[in-house]
Amino acid sequence: MPERFGRRIPEPTVVRLPVYQRVLLGLSAEGVATVSSAELAEAAGVNAAKVRKDLSHFGTYGTPGTGYDVDYLLGQIQRELGTDQERPVVIVGLGHLGHALARSQGFAGGGFRLVGLFDIDASTVGEEVAGQLVRHICELEEVCRREGVAVGIITTPAGAAQDVADHLATGGVSAILNFAPAVISVPPRVQVRHVDFSAELQVLAFYQAHPEAVATRDSAAAWRGSHALRAHAVHQGSHDVHQGSVAFDAPVGADSHGGASHPVAP
């Protein structure tokens, strides 16, 4: 029995949950009934001990000698992630990125519902995007309060991000996903996660400039393994995994082989 309350879930564990969920969605769609920690680990790009440790924080869902029931485990993870409840979301900043996110498939899958788009620019306000009318930022606080908005997505330029964060916080929003290249400060009750495109590029550049600083990944072995598996799958015909598919809607065909091929029960 894990110490159910008070449960202090390590943040790295929380970050891996959506990955496990996505893998399980793929397996479930394939009709795979059970999965071992080793198989789940390989598909998620981590190691088996981590999978078992992560899952043990929430309960004992597996069967020794057999593994985990895919659909049951999926349900448990979705319950933990709160996928059942619908969370109203707003996007602030309707530049190219804001437009792209508004039109993306990323909401529907995970229990999110887009309820508002906001911008400050007169030529953008009033435009219709993804079935929503873009409103002026001066309405932001009121809409957040009225609709009980759970998550605010900031896709403005850096200079506007703090101001928007302040309005979201005042409007009662308690979670912010910040795509603007700026550090924002918020009251303690507000959770912030920062997605920083150009910083990610710079991290990659750093490792290219300093090959000696590259951390040795597990994935070295993982790659050899999955490479063999994938080659094997292609050889056999078409046991391809089409993962998750809470995808951005880019028009590239999804006809290639998946990353995490998996021996399918016969």
Partner DNA sequence: TAGATTGTTAATCGATTAACAATC
Q: How far is the CB of 177 from a copy of itself (least distance, A)?
A: 6
Q: What are the φ and ψ backbone dihedral angles of 116, each rounded to 5 degrees?
A: -170, 145
Instruction: Tell which one of 75, 120, 143, 172 touches a copy of itself (CB under 8 A).
Output: 120
Among residues 68, 155, 168, 233, the one that binds a copy of itself under rule CB under 8 A:
155
Which residues lie closer than 8 Å to 191 by C-beta, 6 or more apart? 174, 175, 176
Of 8-16, 108-116, 162-170, 238-246, which part binds DNA (CB under 7 A)?
A: 8-16
Question: What Å distances lie between residue 139 and 118, 159, 204, 215, CA to CA?
Answer: 8, 20, 39, 47
Q: How far apart are CA 193 and CA 246, in angstroms?
A: 19
For residue 228, state whether it binds a copy of itself (rule: CB under 8 A).
Answer: no
Dihedral sign, Cα of residue 28, residue 29, residue 33, residue 39: negative
Asked whether the beta carbons of 46 and 16 are under 8 A apart, the reply is yes
Instruction: Choose from DNA, a copy of itself, none: what does 48 bind? Cβ within 5-8 Å by kind.
Output: DNA
Interaction between residue 172 and DNA (CB under 7 A) = no
The verdict on 4 binding a copy of itself (CB under 8 A) reads no
Which residues ranging from 183 to 222 are in contact with DNA (CB under 7 A)?
218
Q: Does 150 bind a copy of itself (CB under 8 A)?
A: yes
Q: At 264, give phi and psi (nearest 5°).
A: -90, 135
Q: Is 210 in the site for a copy of itself (CB under 8 A)?
A: yes
DSSP single-letter state for residue 47: -
Q: What are phi and psi of 31, to 5 degrees?
A: 85, 15
Q: Does 138 bind a copy of itself (CB under 8 A)?
A: no
Count of residues that interact with a copy of itself, criterion CB under 8 A: 124
Binding at 92: pick from a copy of itself, DNA, none (beta carbon under 5-8 Å per type): a copy of itself
Q: Which one, 128 or 256, has the nearer CB to a copy of itself?
A: 256
Q: Tokens for 168?
A: 């979201």
Stretch touching a copy of itself by CB under 8 A, among 29-37, 48-56, 138-146, 224-232: 224-232
Q: Find the shortest distance in angstroms from Cβ 99 to a copy of itself.
A: 6
Q: State the DSSP code for 177.
A: E
Contact positions with a copy of itself (CB under 8 A) in 33-92: 43-45, 80-83, 85, 87, 89, 92
- Which helix (H) or strand (E) segment is 136 a member of? strand 132-136
Joined tokens for residue 165: 């964060």
